[in-house]
Amino acid sequence: MTVSVVYPGSFDPVTYGHIDVIQRAASRFSRLIVACLQNAGKDPMFDVEERIALLEEVTGDLRNVEVAAFDGLLVDFCREHDVRLVVKGLRAVSDFEYELQMAQMNRSIGGVETLFLTASPIYSFLSSSLVKEIARFGGDVTDFVPPPVADRMRARRW
Amino acid sequence: MTVSVVYPGSFDPVTYGHIDVIQRAASRFSRLIVACLQNAGKDPMFDVEERIALLEEVTGDLRNVEVAAFDGLLVDFCREHDVRLVVKGLRAVSDFEYELQMAQMNRSIGGVETLFLTASPIYSFLSSSLVKEIARFGGDVTDFVPPPVADRMRARRW
Amino acid sequence: MTVSVVYPGSFDPVTYGHIDVIQRAASRFSRLIVACLQNAGKDPMFDVEERIALLEEVTGDLRNVEVAAFDGLLVDFCREHDVRLVVKGLRAVSDFEYELQMAQMNRSIGGVETLFLTASPIYSFLSSSLVKEIARFGGDVTDFVPPPVADRMRARRW
Amino acid sequence: MTVSVVYPGSFDPVTYGHIDVIQRAASRFSRLIVACLQNAGKDPMFDVEERIALLEEVTGDLRNVEVAAFDGLLVDFCREHDVRLVVKGLRAVSDFEYELQMAQMNRSIGGVETLFLTASPIYSFLSSSLVKEIARFGGDVTDFVPPPVADRMRARRW
Amino acid sequence: MTVSVVYPGSFDPVTYGHIDVIQRAASRFSRLIVACLQNAGKDPMFDVEERIALLEEVTGDLRNVEVAAFDGLLVDFCREHDVRLVVKGLRAVSDFEYELQMAQMNRSIGGVETLFLTASPIYSFLSSSLVKEIARFGGDVTDFVPPPVADRMRARRW
Amino acid sequence: MTVSVVYPGSFDPVTYGHIDVIQRAASRFSRLIVACLQNAGKDPMFDVEERIALLEEVTGDLRNVEVAAFDGLLVDFCREHDVRLVVKGLRAVSDFEYELQMAQMNRSIGGVETLFLTASPIYSFLSSSLVKEIARFGGDVTDFVPPPVADRMRARRW
C-alpha cells in the first residue's frame, strides 16, 4: 500500500521550517507532493515560478518529492493527483485552530484527511512573513532560509 | 513502501471517538497497531485484558488493525514493533499542547514521529472519563460507545 | 419577565451554523433580534439588503425572530431596541478571546451582557468566509448553507 | 415566557467571582437556582451544608435566587427543576475548553443548553482553590470572599 | 547593575492599559524607553509626532521614562540604545502566541530578551483599535484613555 | 538601582530547561534567588535537601545566583528577601493561563510583579515530570538534565 501525501503552502519564501517538514514527511511516506499556492496573498515577495524554482532547488536531493503549483481548492488538487492525505506543520495553538477548521472542511467536501506534524522546536518561531520583515530592514536571514533563498532575498532588496 | 502506525491510548473504555480515529487511520495506512496502555490511571473501570478484548471485538472487521498491550515508554513499544509513526486524535487546544510536548519528546528520545488527526466534529466532546461519569450516575451511554462496551458498563454498575 | 436577546453578525452569507444558533436561542428566549451589520468588511459577497432578505427567508418559520440592519456600536443598537442581552456562538478558542474582549467592552460601555452558546459540533468548522472561498472555486456549498443562499451564491459566480 | 437558569458549582467556598455571576444572571433571568455539588472533590474545606448555608447567606438579598444541593448528573438536576438553561462563568481559555466539552455533552444527553458569561475582569484570576491556598498559609482573603466566608475560613484554620 | 528596558508599540493612541504597563515597569527597572513604532499600520489615527507628544504628556511625571520613535527592527533599536531587555504586556492567549514568536525571533537575531507582564485585569479587554472604533461611532472613551488623548480623539472626529 | 528577582519552582529535578531560565535571568538582573518549593507534590523523586544540593551544584558557576527553600506563600518569601519581582519560564499556552492567574493573585495580595520569559525552543517540550517518567522506564535522560542529576536519577532506580 503506497501512501502519498500533499504538503500545501505559499512558500513565499521556503524556510528551514518548511524544509524540516518536507524531509520528515518524505522519510515516512512513499511520495510527497509540495503544492505551492499560486496566489500567495496581496504582496508576494516572489512569484509562483520563482517560489517553485527555489522549492525544487532546495528539495532536489529528495527523490520522492515533487513540486507543483496549485490554485483553487486543495481538495481538487488532491483529487487530480489521486492523493487522500495532506500534511501540515503545526507551530502554535493559533495555527492549530485555523488548521483544524480547514482540515474538517477538506474532509467534509473532499474526503481528504489532514495529518499534522509538530514543527521542530528550533523552527517553532519561524514564519515566512517574519523572515521577509527581517530582510526588508536589512537583517540577516541566513539562519532561517537556505542559501539560494537568502541570495535572492538579498538581490530583491536593491 | 509500507506505512505502519501505532495508535496508543488507555481505552478505558473505547468510545466511538476512538473507533472513528481507528477507521480513518486504517483506511489510509498499511497497518495499524492499537497500543493499549496497561496502567490506565489510578482507578480504571476495566482491566487491560477487558479493554483489549473490547478493542478486538469492535475492530474485528478491520483487517489491517491489531491490538496489543503496552507498558513503559511508547518509543520502546514502537521499536519492538518496528514502527516509526504514531497517530493521535486531537479534540481541543488543551489536548494539543500536551500532545505536542509528548510528540517532541518521543521524536527526541526515539525518532518516532507523531501524526495528529482532528477528531470528527460529532465526537469532539467525547472522552472516556465523561462517558464513565455518565454511566456512574445511571445515564445512557449508547450514543457514545459501541453496544458491547455499553453492555459491560451497565453490568459493571450493579 | 420577558427576556429578549440580540444576535449580531455580518451574515455574508448566513450559514447553517448561524441558523443553528438562531433556532436554539429562539427556543429559549422570548424574542430574538438578528442584527445584521451593514458594513460587512471590505469586499462583501452580498449587500446588506440581500443579506437581510436571506435571513428573513430562512428564519421565516420562527415567530419570535426579527431581522434588522445595524451600523455603529452594538450597545447603541441594543439600547434602541431595549435589549440588554447579546447572544454569540463560539466555535473555537480564537473566537473566544476576541469575543471575550468585545463582551467586556460592551458591558463596560453599555451595560450589555453577552451570553455565549457553543456551536453545535457539526458546524464547528463552518464559517462564512470558508463557504465563500469554496463557492469562489466552484465547490459545492449545499451542505453548509440553506437552499436560497446556495442558489444566490451560484448565481453570483457567473 | 419565564426564563429560569441553573448555576452549578462546588462553591468551596463561594467567592466574589461567583457572587458576581449570580448577581448578573439574576438581573437578566426570571429565576436562578444555584446548584451546589455535594461531592466537592477529595478534600473539601466545607461540607455541603456549610457551603449551602454560606451561599444562602450571601445571596439572601436576591429574591429570585434559590440554592439547592445536587449530586449526580447536572442534566437530571435540570430536569427535576424543569430548567433547560445552565449558566457558567468563563475566566480563561482553559476553562472554556473543558466547559465547552461539558456543554456539548449536556446538550447531547439532556437537551440542556449552557450559556457562558465572561467573568468580570477584576475577578478573572480568582478561584476557590487559590483562595483556600492563601488561607491555608495565613494570608488575607478579605478581598476575595465575603465577610461570613472569610470568618469561617479563619475559624477553620485553628 | 543598571537594568534598562524598552517598551515597544504603536500607541495609536496610548491607552490606560499601556500606561499601566509603563508605570509598573518604570517602578521596577532603572530606565524605561517607550519605543513608538513610526509606521502604525495602514490607517493610523495619529501620526508618529502626535503619538509621541501624547506619550510624553501622559508619562511626564515618571522621571526614568523616555519616549522615542523607532522604525525598522526592534533589535536594532535596542542595540542603538544599549538595551538588552524588552517589556511587553500580555492580555490574552492570542497575544501570547504572536508575542512568543516575536520574542524567540528577537532573541535569535539580536540577543534581546523579552519580559512579559500580565495586563492588569481591569485593562485586559482594552486595545487601541477597540477604543478607536468606539470613538469613530461617537462613543465615550474617557474610561479608556487619559484626558489629553480623549480630547484629541474628539477633535479628530469633526 | 539594583534589580533582584526570585525564580520559584519544585525542581524535582532541575532540568536543562530550568538552567536555561536561570542563566538568562542571571545575565540580565543583579541577583537571582532560586526558590525551591519544599512540598513538591505527593510523590517527589528527591526531597528538598537533595533538590537544593543539585540546584547549588549546577548553578555554582553563576555568582549572582542563590538557592533557598521555600514553603507557604510566594509573596511572603519575596517580602522576607526584599524582592518585588518573580521570573517564570513559559513553555506553552496552558502554562500561560495558570501562570497568569497566579501572577495576578501575587500582585493583588503582595505587590509582587511576575516577569515571564519564553522557554528556549529546544527546551519547550521539557518538563520534570516527563523526565521522571522516562527515567522510571529506563530511558536515557542525559539530553534533558545535567550529569549530576542524571547520575542520581539512575541511582534512584535501583
Give the residue numbers in E contacting A (CB under 8 Å), as ranges.
72-73, 75-76, 93-94, 97-98, 100-105, 108-109
Q: How many residues in total does chain A contain?
A: 158
Chain D residues touching B91 at Cβ < 8 A? 101
pLDDT exceeding 90 applies to what percent of chain B? 77
Catalytic residue chosen out of the listed positions B10, B18, B88, B132: B18
Q: Which stretch of A36-40, D44-48, E69-73, F37-41 has the lowest confidence by average pLDDT?
A: F37-41
Joined grid coordinates for residue A39: 496566489
Residue D40 has pLDDT above 90, yes or no: no
Q: How far is A137 from chain E (nearest CA, A)?
A: 6
Residue B64 has pLDDT above 90, yes or no: yes
Position E46 scores a pLDDT of: 95
Nearest CA in chain A to C125: A101
Averaged pLDDT of chain A: 92
Contact C121, B126 (CB under 8 A): no
Joined grid coordinates for residue D113: 443548553
Chain A residues touching B62 at Cβ < 8 A? none
Residue C158 has pLDDT above 60, yes or no: no
Instruction: Enumerate residues 6+ apart whose C-beta is below 8 A from C156.
Output: C45, C46, C135
Question: What is the interface size between D and F, counted as CB pairs within 8 Å?
Answer: 38
Nearest to E109 among A92, A93, A134 (CB): A134
Which chains contact A through at least 3 pairs of Cβ atoms less than 8 Å apart?
A: B, C, E, F
Question: What is the interface size between A and F, counted as CB pairs within 8 Å?
Answer: 14
Average pLDDT over residues E138-147: 94
Residue F75 has pLDDT above 90, yes or no: yes
Position D2 scores a pLDDT of: 85
Choose the most confident range, by mean pLDDT, from B13-27, B31-45, D132-146, F33-47: B13-27
Position F157 scores a pLDDT of: 65
pLDDT exceeding 90 applies to what percent of chain E? 77
**∠ CA(D10), CA(D12), CA(D18), 5° rounding?**
70
Q: Please give the single-letter amino acid code of residue C88.
A: K
Position C18 scores a pLDDT of: 97
Instruction: Kindly report whether the global pTM for this prediction surpasses the value 0.80.
Output: yes
Cα–Cα distance for residue pair E135/E143, rounded to 1 Å: 12
Q: Is A91 a catalytic residue?
A: yes
Q: Most E CBs within 10 Å: which of A16, A125, A157, as the mutation test of the E interface?
A: A125
Q: Which stretch of C122-126, D142-146, F63-67 has the lowest confidence by average pLDDT?
A: C122-126
Chain F residues touching B109 at Cβ < 8 A? 134, 139-140, 143
Average pLDDT over residues F101-118: 93
Give the residue numbers in E contacting C (CB under 8 Å), as ranges.
91-94, 124-127, 130, 133-134, 137-140, 143
Contact B144, B16 (CB under 8 A): yes
Residue D124 has pLDDT above 70, yes or no: yes
Beta carbons of F93 and D92 less than 8 Å apart: no
φ, ψ dihedrals at B103, nearest 5°:
-65, -45
**pLDDT band with cut points at 50, 70 and 90 for residue E78:** very high
Q: How far is E112 from chain C (nearest CA, A)?
A: 28
**pLDDT band with cut points at 50, 70 and 90 for residue E2:** confident
Give the residue numbers in F contacting E (CB under 8 Å), as ranges.
1-3, 24, 28-30, 84-85, 90, 93, 96-97, 100, 103-104, 107, 113-118, 121
Residue A94 has pLDDT above 80, yes or no: no
Position D157 scores a pLDDT of: 65
Residue F140 has pLDDT above 70, yes or no: yes
Beta carbons of D122 and E122 less than 8 Å apart: yes
Q: How far is B92 from chain D (nearest CA, A)?
A: 7
Question: What is the interface size between B and F, counted as CB pairs within 8 Å?
Answer: 39
Residue F21 has pLDDT above 70, yes or no: yes
**pLDDT band with cut points at 50, 70 and 90 for residue E131:** very high
Beta carbons of D125 and F105 less than 8 Å apart: yes
Q: What is the pLDDT of residues C35-54, one digit of tens each?
A: 999 987 778 999 999 999 99
Cα–Cα distance for residue pair F79/F88, rounded to 1 Å: 18
Q: How far is F108 from chain E (nearest CA, A)?
A: 10
Which of A117, A88, A92, A91 shows the shortest CA–CA distance to A103? A88
The catalytic residue positions of E are 18, 42, 91, 128
Position B39 scores a pLDDT of: 83
Higher-pLDDT residue of B58, C138: B58
Averaged pLDDT of chain C: 92
**pLDDT band with cut points at 50, 70 and 90 for residue D93:** low
Position E93 scores a pLDDT of: 63
Nearest to B118 among A85, A93, A104 (CB): A104
Q: Is A88 a catalytic residue?
A: no
Q: How buried is B121 (Cβ within 10 angstroms: 0-12 exposed, 13-18 middle, 19+ buried)?
A: buried
Q: How far is D29 from chain C (nearest CA, A)?
A: 7
Give the residue numbers in C contacting D (CB under 8 Å), as ranges.
1-3, 24, 28-30, 84-85, 90, 93, 96-97, 100, 103-104, 107, 113-118, 121
Position F91 scores a pLDDT of: 80
Nearest to A1 among B2, B24, B104 (CB): B2
The catalytic residue positions of F are 18, 42, 91, 128
Average pLDDT over residues A70-93: 92
Position E42 scores a pLDDT of: 73
Nearest CA in chain F to D127: F101
Residue with cell 509513526: B85
Q: How far is F122 from chain B (nearest CA, A)?
A: 10
Strand positions, DSSP E, chain F? 4-9, 31-37, 65-70, 85-90, 113-118
Instruction: Enumerate residues 6+ apart whose C-beta is below 8 A from A149.
Output: A13, A14, A15, A54, A58
Average pLDDT over residues D129-142: 92
Judged by phi (left if over 0) then psi (alpha if -120 to 50, else beta), residue C68 lies in beta
E139 C-beta neighbours (distance < 10 Å), count: 17
Q: Please give the single-letter amino acid code of residue D64.
A: N
Q: Which residues pair with A66 in a beta bridge?
A: A33
Chain B residues touching C125 at Cβ < 8 A? 121
Contact E114, E106 (CB under 8 A): yes
Distances (CA, A) of D128 to D12, F74, F106: 6, 18, 15
Task: State the ipTM, two decimals.
Answer: 0.91
Q: Which stretch of A27-36, B141-150, E24-33, E37-46 has the lowest confidence by average pLDDT?
A: E37-46
Position D99 scores a pLDDT of: 85
Which chains contact E through at least 3 pairs of Cβ atoms less than 8 Å apart?
A: A, C, D, F
Residue B158 has pLDDT above 60, yes or no: no
Averaged pLDDT of chain F: 92
Beta carbons of F130 and B104 less than 8 Å apart: no
Q: Which residues pair with D86 in a beta bridge?
A: D6, D114
Joined grid coordinates for residue C70: 445595524
Chain E residues touching A127 at Cβ < 8 A? 101
**pLDDT band with cut points at 50, 70 and 90 for residue F94:** low
Position B91 scores a pLDDT of: 80
Sign of the Cα pseudo-torsion (F11, F17, F23, F26, in order): negative
Q: What is the pLDDT of residues A49-59, one digit of tens each?
A: 999 999 999 99
Which H or E element spans position B65?
strand B65-70
Position D90 scores a pLDDT of: 86
**pLDDT band with cut points at 50, 70 and 90 for residue F93:** low
Residue E38 has pLDDT above 80, yes or no: yes
Q: What is the pLDDT of residues D97-110, one digit of tens each?
A: 788 889 999 999 99
Position C93 scores a pLDDT of: 63
Residue A82 has pLDDT above 90, yes or no: yes
Q: How far is B109 from chain A (nearest CA, A)?
A: 14
Q: Please give the single-letter amino acid code of residue F133.
A: E
Judged by phi (left if over 0) then psi (alpha if -120 to 50, else beta), residue F72 lies in left
Beta carbons of B127 and D97 less than 8 Å apart: no
Position A90 scores a pLDDT of: 86
Give the residue numbers in D contacting C (CB under 8 Å), as ranges.
1-3, 24, 28-30, 84-85, 90, 93, 96-97, 100, 103-104, 107, 113-118, 121
Chain C residues touching D100 at Cβ < 8 A? 90, 118
Q: How far is F85 from chain D (nearest CA, A)?
A: 19
Average pLDDT over residues C104-111: 92
Residue with cell 502554562: F95
Position F76 scores a pLDDT of: 96
Which of B110, B116, B73 shows the shortest CA–CA distance to B93? B116
Catalytic residue chosen out of the listed positions D24, D91, D152, D154: D91
Residue C81 has pLDDT above 60, yes or no: yes
pLDDT exceeding 70 applies to what percent of chain F? 96
Residue with cell 461570613: D148
Residue D15 has pLDDT above 90, yes or no: yes
Residue E4 has pLDDT above 60, yes or no: yes
DSSP letter at A44?
-
Residue A147 has pLDDT above 90, yes or no: yes
Beta carbons of A143 and E108 less than 8 Å apart: yes
**pLDDT band with cut points at 50, 70 and 90 for residue C27:** very high
Distances (CA, A) of F55 to A101, E102, F149, F153: 45, 31, 9, 14
Residue A70 has pLDDT above 80, yes or no: yes
**pLDDT band with cut points at 50, 70 and 90 for residue D67:** very high
